[in-house]
Amino acid sequence: MFGNQKKRPLFNKRIILPAILLFLFLLILNIPWLFLLVIIFTLTIYASRQLKRNYVIDIIFTAFSVLLCVVLIRMFAFDLYKVPSDSMENSFFINDRLIINKLSYGPKLPGDAQDIPWLGMLFKDKGKWPQVRLSGISKVKTNDIIVFRNSADPRKFMVKRCIGLPGEKLVMSNDTLFIDGRFIKSPESVKNMYNIIVKQTQAFIAYAKQHRIAFSLNENRSIDAFLTADQKGGIQCLNGFEQIRYIRIGWGFFSEKGKTSKWDNPLKHWTVDRFGPLLIPKKGTTIHLDAQNLFLYSGIIFSEDKTVMLSGSRLYRYGMLIDNYTFENNYFFFLGDNRHQSYDSRYWGFVSEKQIEGKVLLSLSVGKS
């Protein structure tokens, strides 16, 4: 029956105009490379119709087509990740599944064979491939929630909120954030920890239950609670309210980075609660290598320029002292929404553009209701 099936031409006049319009549409979106995937899918369907068919070939070709489709979608368009911690409460909870959009900033080609979805498990790690990112629909914006690779272990992924873009200067004062001198309002989901004093404890407990606020009562009758900005404002309006105070975390700024730094920390007065102004590295920006900048940016310098050598407390390239350095890549600064429970850029530093996987599009929540 299949042997007598009339072969259809691969291209005909009816599909030329829609194909041109599709290409122009993708060109406007800045993702013309996606047209190549459309051609691959078209060729796959065409080939399936031209084969001399039987039941076994149908099964094999259908399985191959489905696998190819899923691999290409996960590699170039959308992928699924699991939330590994509680650092993004109230936005996401542990073990929530996130669908990320790789088209937003442009997908990366696999860095090695193991990066190929599903098929990577069949290969052993035999070296790195050149890092190439295709064009995307948009650029990273402040407050985008992004999945990126852990710099310490590229096989692991993290999800945080971007609060610092390349070239911006960042200042944080407890629960208040400034970018280039402008106050930045926190998204509704961001929460910090506060110590609260009220005359009528029962009024607070009732409010906390109504708004599902986690809190603990101290021996001195004060209350510690994780609050969003709106919840903080609501508590200040309660009868018997007396005082609310931000609870400082107290850890030193870049404390994780400081463990491996070859320089003494000249910013010991900076903490994860209060720091800045901090320049977010931008491609093409030049900095003077004083003690502060060496502590903040030495990791980036060593990762970008393998010719730089350390001698004493100064940097040299081919025996020549380096007084200034120009960044070769763009970097970002990330925080978790659950600020007091988040291990983020305040501890380990900047995130390279190369580490970014995609923008969170949707959460398939399995966490708290």
The Cα 291–Cα 266 span in angstroms is: 7
The active-site residue, picked from 102, 160, 257, 359, is 160
Q: Active site includes 354?
A: no
The Cα 174–Cα 254 span in angstroms is: 16
Residue with the two structure tokens 């072969």: 7
Q: Active site includes 232?
A: no
Tell me, letter by letter, the H, E, C secondary structure of the chain: CCCCCCCCCCCCHHHHHHHHHHHHHHHHCCCCCHHHHHHHHHHHHHHHHHCCCCHHHHHHHHHHHHHHHHHHHHHHCEEEEECCCCCCCCCCCCCCEEEEECCCCCCECCCCHHHCCCHHHHCCCCCCCCCCECCCCCCCCCCCEEEEECCCCCCCEEEEEEEECCCCEEEEECCEEEECCEEECCCCCCEEEEEEEECCHHHHHHHHHHCCCCEEECCCCCEEEEEEHHHHHHHHCCCCEEEEEECCCCCECCHHHHCCCCCCCCCCCCECCEEEEEECCCCCCEEECCHHHHHHHHHHHHHHCCCEEEECCEEEECCEECCEEECCCCEEEEECCEHHHCCCHHHHCCEEHHHEEEEEEEEECCCCC
For residue 265, give every residue at least 6 positions away whose Cβ sits within 8 Å of its Cβ, in sequence order, or none.
Answer: 252, 254, 258, 295
The active-site residue, picked from 87, 91, 342, 363, is 87
For residue 73, give every residue at least 6 positions away whose Cβ sits within 8 Å of its Cβ, in sequence order, or none.
Answer: none
The Cα 231–Cα 211 span in angstroms is: 8
Q: Would you please indicate which residues are annotated as catalytic (active-site) residues?
A: 87, 160
